[in-house]
Amino acid sequence: MDSRVPEIRKHLKKKLDAYRYEHTLGVEFTCQALAMRYGYDLDKADLAGLLHDSAKRFENPVMLQKCLDRGIPVTAEEERDPSLLHAKLGAWMAENKYGVDDPEILSAITCHTTGKPGMSLLDKILYVADYIEHNRAFPGVEQARDIAQVSLDRAVAYET
């Protein structure tokens, strides 16, 4: 385990609401499970899962302003729906607040909501883990969980 993880967990528990914190732990656990399944580095998957929603503690207008203040590019779609910015701002926070300098982890956090062309293994692990973690309950989630054990590519493409 990365030595920063216990302290980051404590900090996030204070900053996130109870639902978001439980979701975060669920994604962290699911990232590790998928990393084991697909032979990826457990520590990197753990850190990506733990930090993926770290910016969700901010209201949309605050998130938008924080991105603008930090020079984080904002698309027209993100300006209309600033909730999408939590991924980009979360990656910025992972790097600048929590000291994560691994480009794979930062990429996975950045694209965990929208995906992107040419996703890496960690990008896919976090994208899928966020969708299927154990707290999620929606029609089709069980099928998505089953698919994730067979093919990450199919799980990324899965639509309910």
pLDDT in the model for residue 79: 95
**For residue 14, is pLDDT > 80?**
yes
Tokens representing 26 are 């669920």
- HSE-CB at 79 with a 13 A cutoff on CA atoms is 6
Q: Which pLDDT score, from 0 to 100, does residue 1 have?
A: 81
Residue 160: is its pLDDT beyond 90? no
DSSP symbols for 128-146: HHHHH-TT--STTHHHHHH
